[in-house]
Amino acid sequence: MASKVETGSVRSVERALAIVELLGQHQALGLEELHYLTGLAKATVSRMLLTLQEQGWIYRGLSDRRYRLSARSLFGDSRQRFKRQLVEQAVPWLLELSARTGLVSDLSSFDGDCLEVLESAVPAVLRKRYPSNSRIVGQHASLFHSAMGKACLGALPSAEIERLAQREQVPSEDRQQACAQSLHLGFGQRTEGHWEYPVRLPFLIRAVALPLQAEGRVIGSIALHWPMDLGCVEQVRNRHLGLLADTIEHLQKTLA
């Protein structure tokens, strides 16, 4: 007959596996949703999640605080696993960048066709102004109008930029302006007056970004963005572009 300790251990494993299975089915879930779906007390679910997170089986999003399977737990979809691995490697650097600059730091991935926002770190000083910043995570940003997109374009050959422009049906004037700006400035700068996501923030923003590369190809970018009333691009460039470049360099070494 199994001892009480053995029975408790088996029950804990069963509960943990149930959480992992639910996350595999639903992609991302919060504590309240897992409490409802498992029928377990919130305190029990919270302990299970903490253990799974400490053991590297799950990842908790910075922006939405929802739980997802970590890269090591994803099988079959190599693209999704790569994006999750990129997020997990980037999170410490995003948090440090956001804390040191006092600005929002965003991570994107570029698959050769689309630019997707993967994660967003909001500093404590701006959290009241960004109650729903998690809405931009998972969105596809404009390659020719977002700072993150322009940063990627600046690191691509002209033939590839032409292909992407035709694919997105970008007017030649917008294409030339985006490329010339990236090459001239050395970084991507958001097109003011043009919103780059399907969802909108309740205030105007400015943004700058630099490309992220691995194994000789562009895999995404990291941006700093902030409410327009907090300062102009020149101020942020002078104060923080070097720190953004250092963050990119450190992350690229980690990925390598």
> Which residue in 238, 229, 180, 175 sits closest to 208, CA to CA?
238
Q: Are strands 58-60 and 205-214 parallel, antiparallel or unpaired?
A: unpaired
Give Cβ neighbours of residue 152 (< 8 Å, ≥ 6 apart): 108, 110, 115, 143, 188, 211, 218, 220, 221
Per-residue pLDDT 10s for the chain (256 aa) are 455 444 556 788 888 888 889 988 888 889 999 999 988 899 999 999 999 998 889 889 888 888 998 888 777 678 888 888 999 999 999 999 999 999 999 999 999 999 999 999 999 898 888 876 667 888 888 898 899 999 999 889 888 888 888 888 877 777 777 767 666 677 888 888 777 766 777 788 899 999 999 988 999 999 999 999 988 999 999 999 999 999 999 999 998 8
pLDDT value of position 79: 83
- 147 phi/psi in degrees, rounded to 5: -60, -40
User: Is the separation of the CB atoms in 111 and 160 below 8 Å?
Assistant: no
pLDDT value of position 204: 85
- For tokens 């498992």, name the residue: 38
Q: Give span(s): CATH 1.10.10.10, the chain.
A: 4-71
CATH architecture of the domain 77-255 equals 2-Layer Sandwich (3.30)
Q: Which tens digit of pLDDT belongs to each residue from 142-161? A: 898 899 999 999 889 888 88
- How many C-beta atoms lie closer than 10 Å to residue 113's C-beta? 11
pLDDT value of position 133: 66
Q: Name the fold adopted by 4-71.
A: Arc Repressor Mutant, subunit A (1.10.10)
pLDDT value of position 4: 46
Structure tokens at 1: 């007959």
Phi-psi region of 220 (alpha: psi -120 to 50; beta: other; left: phi over 0): left
Burial class (CB within 10 angstroms; exposed 0-12, middle 13-18, buried 19+) of 133: buried
Q: Give span(s): CATH 3.30.450.40, the chain.
A: 77-255
User: Is the separation of the CB atoms in 139 and 108 below 8 Å?
Assistant: no
- 223 phi/psi in degrees, rounded to 5: -120, 155
Structure tokens at 58: 């799950």
- How many C-beta atoms lie closer than 10 Å to residue 182's C-beta? 24
Q: CA distances (Å), 62 to each of 88, 134, 179, in order?
A: 10, 8, 32
pLDDT value of position 131: 73
pLDDT value of position 5: 46
pLDDT value of position 223: 95
Query: How many alpha carbons fall within 13 Å on the CB side of residue 220?
Result: 20
Give Cβ neighbours of residue 240 (< 8 Å, ≥ 6 apart): 101, 103, 224
